[in-house]
Amino acid sequence: MSLAAHVNHLVIIKSPISALSIGLSSLVKLMVSALVSIFKGRLTPMFQFPEDALSQEKPFLSGSKFGLADFNMSWGMDVASQRGYFEASQGKTWLLCRIGGRERL
C-alpha cells in the first residue's frame, strides 16, 4: 500500500470524530485509538525509505530533477505533516523540503 493510501485511512478514520459532540467524540476516539496507532506505526518505514534514498548527489527521488515520483510523494508527506502524523524532529524535515523543491531548513 502506498503512503497516500495509509494517510487516507488515517484521515477517513479521524475526520468524522471532529464532527461529533464532545462526549461522543471522546468515546469514539477511545474505540479507534488502537487502529489509529497501528496505521501511524506503518507510516514510519514509509517515511524512512525515501529519507534514506535522498542525498546530496541525488537530491530528488527521480535523480537530479524534480519528477513524478517526487510529486506523488509530496502529497502524502504534506498531508501527514499538516495532520501531525510525524514529528519534524524525526529527521523528516529535510525530506519534506527536498520533495517540495524548497531549500533545506
How sure is the predictor about 105, in pLDDT bands with cuts at 50, 70 and 90?
very low
Mean pLDDT across the chain, nearest whole number?
79
pTM above 0.75, yes or no: no
SS3 per-residue string spanning the chain: CCHHHHHHHHHHHHHHHHCCCHHHHHHHHHHHHHHHHHHHHHHHHHHHHHHHHCCCCCCECCECCCCHHHHHHHHHHHHHHHCCCCCHHHCCHHHHHHHCCCCCC
Query: How far apart are alpha carbons 37 and 31 in whole angstroms?
Result: 12
What's the pLDDT at 59? 76
* Banded pLDDT at 79 (limits 50, 70, 90): confident
C-alpha cell of 71?
A: 510529486
pLDDT digits (tens, 9 = 90+) for 11-57: 999 889 989 998 999 999 999 999 999 988 888 888 777 777 777 77
The Cα–Cα gap between 100 and 96 comes to 6
Position with higher pLDDT, 67 vs 13: 13
Q: In the chain, pLDDT over 90 holds for what percent of residues?
A: 14
